[in-house]
Structure 1
Amino acid sequence: MQHNEISLLHKTGYSLLGCFVLFWFIYAAGEQFGYQGIWLTGLAFALSFICLSTSLFYFVSFQQKQLDALHDGIKSFKDGDFSIRIHPDGDKHLAPILDLYNDLARNLTEQRQTLSQKEHLLDSIVQASPMAIVLFNPFKQVVYHNQQANELLQVAGSLKGKELYGLLENVSSPIRSFLLEQGSGIVSFEHNDLKQSYYIANQTVTYNHQLHQLVLCKDLSLEIGKEELQLWKNAIRLISHELNNSLAPISSLTSSAEAILEKNTHLDLLPDILQTINQRASNLNAFIAKYAEFARLPKPNISKQNLAATLQSVQKLYAFELLADLPCKHAYFDVLQLEQVLINLLKNAHESGSKVSDIGIKVVKDYNRVRFAVVDRGQGITQGKISQVTLPFFSTKQGGSGLGLSICSEVINAHRGQLKIKNRTNGGIMVEFDIPLRF
């Protein structure tokens, strides 16, 4: 921006020049009227000084007003007010500073408007979320929350400033324990004879240079209820199918045995009939035992174990390639349960149609966790079914029980880990799971 105003320095120079001219004018006029000597000089000097002081006071006071306005404007920034503007009509050397101030005020105003719009949009999204969201400061006081948090805590009105402990009076005991212990996971309980399930996540976030606790809570009762109902339907359908496959032949063979005994003929067939009945009964018993094993999966007996020895034990049953050197000698896990997980995964890999040379296990250390990856080059799994293969009673195999991967997932969860399955780029799948390096 161009400014053509005269500077304060120039104004001061012009004032001095004017006073000098005025001094000689008064001096000459005094001599004309007969005044001489020091009195004339003093009078001229006094009048000139008064004129000079008046001019300088006017110029300086005008510029001081602009400096005061600039001071007030900058001070208003501290209070969050960016609306003050200053018209740069003074000294041209001060004008660029005033222009810079005005530009800064405009930019801050625009940024505040943009930020306000984003905050409003984010708040609208959070308030519309079906998940309860609460942010606590280091003193366990509510800083932010949405409407779902009011419903979860059963408290009306604003929660800001209220302490966590005082908000938990009406909350179910399992949820209260999770919130106080800052735990994360799914909590299930019965309330008014109804099963309730909630997912609770606790995270630490930095806000205003302080660590805050962010709590997210989602009511999963309806979703889990639907999932459980579908699982029960699948279980009943599968069990009915297996029972029918075993009981129908047993019933038929029993009728045949009764007919043979009544007619007292073909008695030589009875041993085969009884053996077949016994075999079908044994198969049925094994089927039921497998489901019972899933239902009463014991807690892991975790202790310090040798990784190499565990893998060598499994390798005697199912061949595989160790794809990298072991990152550590020992880890903490239930050796029997982890061996069963690896056996199930390797069995699936061998049955997938993969070459034995393409079946491998890789173990890596990731900070304080040990990660296992079992890979093959088999048929893989249809993309839409990957998310379901760890569900109980879901199987991609003809006649499969749908319990193998479910048991694997349960075991890893009990070890504070997670099991993931994904298709590989050039065919086959990778099953990855992790366990803590130490407990």
Structure 2
Amino acid sequence: MSRRMHSLEGRLSLLLLLAGLVGVLIYAGVTEWPLPQALAWLHNDLKVGEAPPLQMGFVVGLVISMAVLVPVALWMAAVVMSPVSRLLRALEGSVASYRDGDFSISLVVDRRDELGELITMHNALGQTLRDQRQHLVQRELLLDTVVQNTPVALVLTDAGDHVAYANIAARHLFNEGRSLHGLVFADVLANAPKVMREAVEHGEDALLTVEMDNSEETFHISQRAFRLQGRPHQLRLFRRMTRELSRQEVASWKRVIRVISHELNNSLAPISSLAHSGAELARRGETERLPGVFATIGERARHLHGFIAGYASFAKLPAPRKASIVWAPFLEGLALHCRFRLVGAAPEQPGWFDAAQVEQVLINLIKNAHEAGGPEDEVTLALQVLGRDLRIEVADRGPGMSETVLAQALLPFYSTKRAGTGLGLALAREIAEAHGGRIALANREGGGLQVSLLLPLGAPRDG
């Protein structure tokens, strides 16, 4: 009962009951007593005015009652609603502060009705929002610390290609440690190596080697588009892979030494055994079995020679013999070794490279493209002149490469094929760099892999 009386419903019911009682009392006072008697006393004793009737009519009593009751009702309503109005204004200001991101306001009002419960819930909501804000601030500080101190250069650009965020590594990579915020990223890249600019413009993941500070640096570039606060943004990650590649190369050389040692043991052990057996047969005079022994020894020796020759061809790559290459006969000769679809026309300007070495690279790349598992008619070859460079692109519509494979695909002896030697892409890289060019791998939009071979175009000029 006490809770019901302290509720808004109970208070309003009591106020209406009180207003009704006041109205009845006023009406009775005007029509019955004491107003009629007072008027009669004034007339009879003091001789003021005409003699009024002892009882007033209904209409006159109602008018006089309303004239008295309305101001009293307005005053009572103002008294009762004043704290409620102040409370509602406080709630309105508090909600406006929440909208502006200020959660520090709490209301202190001692009420035991529904508004009191609303205030309690409001204060609890404010405390929850303050706790969440503090948690988010701590997480944002931790995330910013991690991102700022990561060795991977991170650049976030908006729809207008303006830099919205860049970490310390990105500032040192592109702007000598100065801030990149607000700059147009295309202008920032103007001083970057050409092959890096082209990879960024291409908009896909890529692995490439560039010349920086009089040394070669290998980068893995990841690019992702997404929406931030409803607006399109582009996130680019530039990861230096030189140290990791060097570590992987050392591990690869150790692995190839183990492979060669294993293969040598597998061949030399039976050769040694067969030589001993042959000597024993000769000593006994059983010469009819010697041809078979010598044939087996020769077979193992040829296998070992072919195995060693394959690795030696990679380790002792001859210097390229560059010459002017006419495209029509070169492409016709390439088509005799592998199937591909030429995209666009061949350049009018002849190429300048070692035809045999580049042909071997393209044969390996096109073979890999067919083995990727995509449609055969989607294995394409494209030739494009870019300034003073020639870009040769081999593309397919297979599954592409994961980031892990993409980052290690150019390492010697790294292969995802069970019977692969891991020399194809590594040899392509060696030939490209021997020509003064570079090779880059990138996943294609819509699926597939694109391998770009960038070679200088034209013979060097004297002087």
Asked if Structure 1 and Structure 2 have the same fold, meaning a TM-score greater than 0.5 normalized by the shorter chain, the answer is: yes
| Aligned residue among 8, 11, 28 for 1:7 | 11
| Aligned residue among 184, 187, 196 for 2:205 | 184
Q: Distance in 2 between matches of 1:212 and 1:50?
A: 65
Amino acid in the other structure paired with 2:38: F
Instruction: Indicate the SS of the match to 2:34.
Output: helix
**Which residue pairs with 2:412 in the alignment?**
392
| Aligned residue among 445, 448, 462 for 1:436 | 448
Query: In 2, are the aligned partners of 1:135 and 1:213 still within 8 Å (CA)?
Result: yes
Q: Distance in 2 between matches of 1:163 and 1:100?
A: 48
Amino acid in the other structure paired with 2:21: L
How big is each residue's C-alpha offset from its partner over 1:350-379, in whole Å with a ceiling of 9 and x where there is no partner? xxxxxxxxxxxxxxxxxx63699xxxxxxx
Q: Distance in 2 between matches of 1:46 and 1:70?
A: 36
Residues paired across the two proteins, number: 321
| Residue 152 of structure 1, CA deviation | 1.2
| Residue 166 of structure 1, CA deviation | 2.6
How big is each residue's C-alpha offset from its partner over 1:312-350, in whole Å with a ceiling of 9 and x where there is no partner? xxxxxxxxxxxxxxx99856459xxxxxxxxxxxxxxxx
Instruction: Indicate the SS of the match to 2:94.
Output: helix
How big is each residue's C-alpha offset from its partner over 1:109-155, in whole Å with a ceiling of 9 and x where there is no partner? 22222222222221121112111111112221222221111111125
| Residue 409 of structure 1, CA deviation | 6.5
**Which residue pairs with 1:299 in the alignment?**
362
Instruction: Indicate the SS of the match to 1:160.
Output: coil
Compare 43-52 and 285-294 and name the one that shifted more: 285-294
Question: More relative contact order in 1 or in 2 (CA 8 Å, sep 6+)?
Answer: 2
**Which residue pairs with 1:64 in the alignment?**
85
Q: Distance in 2 between matches of 1:140 and 1:224?
A: 31
Q: Aligned pair in 2 of structure 1 residues 92, 404: CA closer, same or farther (>3 Å)?
A: closer
Q: Are residues 1:16 and 2:45 paired?
A: no
| Residue 175 of structure 1, CA deviation | 2.4
Amino acid in the other structure paired with 2:36: E
In structure 2, list runs of 5 or more residues that go unmatched. Answer: 41-51, 269-296, 318-356, 381-396, 402-406, 430-438, 452-463
**Which residue pairs with 1:73 in the alignment?**
94
How big is each residue's C-alpha offset from its partner over 1:41-96, in whole Å with a ceiling of 9 and x where there is no partner? 45554233221111112223432332333333333332222233345656934444
| Aligned residue among 134, 152, 177 for 1:113 | 134
Compare 2-11 and 163-172 and name the one that shifted more: 2-11
TM-score by length of 2: 0.54
Alignment of 1:316-331 (within 5 A): 330=376
In structure 1, list runs of 5 or more residues that go unmatched. Answer: 247-275, 311-326, 335-367, 373-386, 396-401, 419-434
Query: In 1, are the aligned partners of 2:97 and 2:103 still within 8 Å (CA)?
Result: yes
Instruction: Indicate the SS of the match to 1:75.
Output: helix
TM-score by length of 1: 0.56
Query: In 1, are the aligned partners of 2:153 and 2:167 still within 8 Å (CA)?
Result: yes
**Which residue pairs with 1:262 in the alignment?**
none
Amino acid in the other structure paired with 2:398: R
Q: Aligned pair in 2 of structure 1 residues 304, 331: CA closer, same or farther (>3 Å)?
A: farther
Instruction: Percent identity, please.
Output: 23
**Which residue pairs with 1:202 in the alignment?**
223
Q: Distance in 2 between matches of 1:371 and 1:166?
A: 31
**Which residue pairs with 1:127 in the alignment?**
148
Instruction: Indicate the SS of the match to 2:71.
Output: helix
